[in-house]
Structure 1
């Protein structure tokens, strides 16, 4: 049995657009207005999407249910696998008491919540995005900030917002690699285009983050730190993306901004330490309370994590692990059963890369850390069991969110939304980032959004006489600001920040910032297309684009 996706099932694009938008509009309504719990909103949205897919888009019930199953499976692995391992690693440091030493060390660097947010959410989060991606940065940094005493809502919210700057170059540049494969534009050209867009956002992001948590006037008090953090990251992101390619901008930018900010804090401190309202004043810790050996032991889980994440990000290591530890199979009943608009079958292959997955690297870091932090393996198993219990509702939320995303994509609803945006003619460059934003909102992944829409971005740009690298780059850049409100990302952040059941509150916290940043990137893309064309890199299309 095969079935072809329709774009305009009601033969009136306006009505088809309205119907295709219903599941997405429901998510916004459920989380912003109705304030539903995340798993409730995502389960109902999946049910609505299923009904529309079957009754309006004519998707066979069997294929619709198989699509849901495929989404659930992907939600459980690799997404939930990664989240569980990240929280497990953090819980080990708490159970062993080592996180108290980490809090002491952070306090000796700075007690100021604004500066802690810059170091952990922005700089360390960017480094983790560059090496691991797929939810690990938000999961780990949100858990760390909550452990340091941050208000859970602000900890999770600012980690989601901070994650915008590095997402395009996440996981050693995978989003741009996929955009290149789909569009036929060289990786370096897309990397250069994105690297001439996002640094403008990155340079202001530290000020934006601190203004959210403390207000503009308090942000101005630490302007030297904001300038050093933002400018160092943006400059390194620009240089590496334009001259080295998409693999290292986050790693270099994240580490560079940490070094620069810590260097500044050795010679400069804010006049007043800022903490959250009603938060007790920091306890002044005597210098030398812990020995160097104790401090290294406390940080050892994150040191091991960093080493393993870097190793797992190397392509030769990935290839070796996949050669011996990956089960790949065609999804029964779904593989090649759905035809796209050209009549070509859509492959549905599930890759169970149980060794090369980032979650496995974090799991191994946890195993190695159990004796390092002074726990027995029996205690480690107890911590793991407690972590599973802690994350039972987030696991359900993530699984149902991915089911929702897969139904929208497989039924053709996503294509309906994309087709309308692609027909905005000369205004399309303004809406090109919106397409990327929409793709990441639905799928939770900039990589997936680029796989979905890069070819559409390329073809539409050629039709209206705009350089395709502008719109393909805009798909990547627009996607990064959709990450903070993706239901999948919200579920991950809520799990790590102890906000299970409060996903609606977190969604409302981030949604306006997502639209503000999207507007900025849309206007910048419009200018790149028609006004500041000199910013566009020179490149030659890949040959395989014309021969495959």
Structure 2
């Protein structure tokens, strides 16, 4: 691989760092420029055929459409709930549990996200939790960062265990025996027990340091016991479920059990300081609409409960709804006579469920048709920068992934990069393995796809180095979850739903440090195990 070919392989990452993080361009400008640069370099230096690049772009647009459907559904539901007063009612309800913003961040930003990740995945948790936090009075940037950081540890078992059940099985079709899947599941939960448990504390540290009036870590240290309670309230039940039931339900059950425990402690003020921590000029909600005053708290939460139940019901094959919704499918096979294909199942996407629940809520609360139309228009206008960004960002990623078809006799760009890392860091591979997983999520927007892309590679590296394959695969999974924090696609979607398009670089800069910390903690834990 020549220097220019190495630069080409790095360009999807370098372009994001340069345009979004360093130059601080909005994603709607940075990603189209990045896509053009990557496509030109892939054609000239990687010698990818034009037809392969074009097919990758078309596949990217199909995938971008899926993401846009999810984001549209999330924004539309929020707009409907705002119009009906349900969001205001939820906010008042949270004040009744505990008015401390640190506590609210852990309940919504950590445990609610964990539960939603277990039920749906695919970027839905951050798309729902971030606007909810904003509606509760959190600064939009804080809401996005908190939601993205939280949506990391639960990802390993997200969407009813998809990263393991689908990612590992398809990535290792020969080696993924039931016994190996069980080992990977248990290893992932065990490593996360000492890694994921600290995520709530990391979230609160960022919250008080960058968004508090005093810009200090001290308020975070004051709630350290409560933060550890929030962390272990998820990871311990998840560990038990992973060791007894398998990979499908650790995040769902962990999130539910954690919510029950933490809400109980928060309501009674247990493990919490007496001083309530708030934002400067914290807004006050005035419920001056008679309809809103009469709305019980359970009714305000009903849409989110319905979304969660429907997502679970449509993800379990035994109930029959999954097959029914997946029956409606648009297939784009062998695009431009290449091996690249794409498919779209519009009714199976979480966005469809979000949209249906929003309409049902509008009917239930007797929202005037004029306000429903207004919410629809507002949602569409909000999505415009996101459409531009995703139509460039996702094709860029697909070019990167499908670069195995080339005239330079090279493997795909991510594989070539990973092989260079093996040659450089062989003895320290447990420290590197999580960041291979993070790389896959960073560029693909999916932990499941990251596992599928690198599972065989990680397995073979572990085999060659004489390391435990299940442990290395667990690091791949945990790293893929951590990569969700800075994944361009997720960041763009989250910024869109809170009206913060153009600030994607700021989000990535803030989330990068927790991502690195979690990756190193997971790798160090496995290194120490192997040394003992």
TM-score (norm 2): 0.90
SS of alignment partner, residue 501 of structure 2: coil
The offset of 1:232, in angstroms, is 1.1
How many angstroms apart in 1 are the aligned matches of 2:121 and 2:241? 18
The offset of 1:290, in angstroms, is 7.5
Q: Which residue of 2 aligns with 1:279?
A: 282
The offset of 1:459, in angstroms, is 1.1
Q: Which residue of 2 aligns with 1:144?
A: 132
SS of alignment partner, residue 355 of structure 1: coil
The offset of 1:118, in angstroms, is 0.7
Q: Which residue of 2 aligns with 1:296?
A: 298
8 Å CA contact 1:450, 1:475 repeated in 2? yes
C-alpha deviations, 1:259-286, integer Å up to 9, x for none? 0011112322541111123435x57999
Q: Is 1:425 aligned to 2:419, yes or no?
A: no
C-alpha deviations, 1:88-117, integer Å up to 9, x for none? 101101122221111111111111111111
The offset of 1:474, in angstroms, is 1.2
SS of alignment partner, residue 279 of structure 1: coil
Q: Which residue of 2 aligns with 1:104?
A: 92
8 Å CA contact 1:409, 1:415 repeated in 2? no
C-alpha deviations, 1:382-410, integer Å up to 9, x for none? 31221011111112212321111101111
C-alpha deviations, 1:310-363, integer Å up to 9, x for none? 212212345422553223341422542xxxxxxxxxxx3322212222222212
**Residues 463/220 of structure 1: CA separation in 2 closer, same or farther (3 Å cut):** same
SS of alignment partner, residue 328 of structure 1: strand
How many angstroms apart in 2 are the aligned matches of 1:142 and 1:283? 19
Q: Which residue of 1 aligns with 2:474?
A: 473
The offset of 1:519, in angstroms, is 2.0
8 Å CA contact 1:194, 1:476 repeated in 2? yes
Out of 354, 364, 385, the residue aligned to residue 393 of structure 1 is 385
Q: Which residue of 2 aligns with 1:489?
A: 490
1:451-470 matches, within 5 Å, as 451-470=452-471
**Residues 356/209 of structure 1: CA separation in 2 closer, same or farther (3 Å cut):** same
How many angstroms apart in 2 are the aligned matches of 1:59 and 1:414? 15
How many angstroms apart in 2 are the aligned matches of 1:444 and 1:144? 22
8 Å CA contact 2:160, 2:247 repeated in 1? yes
How many angstroms apart in 2 are the aligned matches of 1:18 and 1:352? 33
Q: Is 1:167 aligned to 2:155, yes or no?
A: yes
How many angstroms apart in 2 are the aligned matches of 1:235 and 1:34? 42
How many angstroms apart in 1 are the aligned matches of 2:293 and 2:12? 55
How many angstroms apart in 2 are the aligned matches of 1:131 and 1:516? 26
Q: Which residue of 2 aligns with 1:187?
A: 181
The offset of 1:83, in angstroms, is 1.1
Q: Which residue of 2 aligns with 1:23?
A: 12
8 Å CA contact 1:322, 1:356 repeated in 2? yes
Q: Which residue of 1 aligns with 2:406?
A: none
Q: Which residue of 1 aligns with 2:350?
A: 358
How many pairs were matched up?
506
1:303-452 matches, within 5 Å, as 303-316=305-318, 317=320, 319-322=322-325, 324-336=327-339, 348-411=340-403, 412-423=412-423, 424-452=425-453
1:222-241 matches, within 5 Å, as 222-241=223-242
Q: Which residue of 1 aligns with 2:119?
A: 131
The offset of 1:527, in angstroms, is 2.8
8 Å CA contact 2:314, 2:322 repeated in 1? no
Q: Which residue of 1 aligns with 2:521?
A: 520
How many angstroms apart in 2 are the aligned matches of 1:285 and 1:207? 33
SS of alignment partner, residue 35 of structure 1: coil
RMSD over aligned CA atoms reads 2.2
SS of alignment partner, residue 13 of structure 2: helix
Larger CA deviation: 489-498 vs 422-431: 422-431
C-alpha deviations, 1:147-205, integer Å up to 9, x for none? 11111111111111111121111101101122133222332221111111112122111
The offset of 1:126, in angstroms, is 0.5
**Residues 380/292 of structure 1: CA separation in 2 closer, same or farther (3 Å cut):** closer
How many angstroms apart in 2 are the aligned matches of 1:471 and 1:332? 35
The offset of 1:236, in angstroms, is 0.8
Out of 161, 167, 192, the residue aligned to residue 198 of structure 1 is 192
How many angstroms apart in 2 are the aligned matches of 1:426 and 1:508? 29
8 Å CA contact 2:326, 2:347 repeated in 1? no
C-alpha deviations, 1:391-432, integer Å up to 9, x for none? 111122123211111011111222221221233433323211
Q: Which residue of 1 aligns with 2:268?
A: 267
How many angstroms apart in 2 are the aligned matches of 1:407 and 1:318? 34
SS of alignment partner, residue 258 of structure 2: helix
The offset of 1:209, in angstroms, is 0.9
8 Å CA contact 2:62, 2:344 repeated in 1? no
C-alpha deviations, 1:45-64, integer Å up to 9, x for none? 11111011100111111211
**Residues 284/49 of structure 1: CA separation in 2 closer, same or farther (3 Å cut):** closer
How many angstroms apart in 2 are the aligned matches of 1:425 and 1:38? 35
The offset of 1:23, in angstroms, is 3.1
8 Å CA contact 2:433, 2:523 repeated in 1? yes
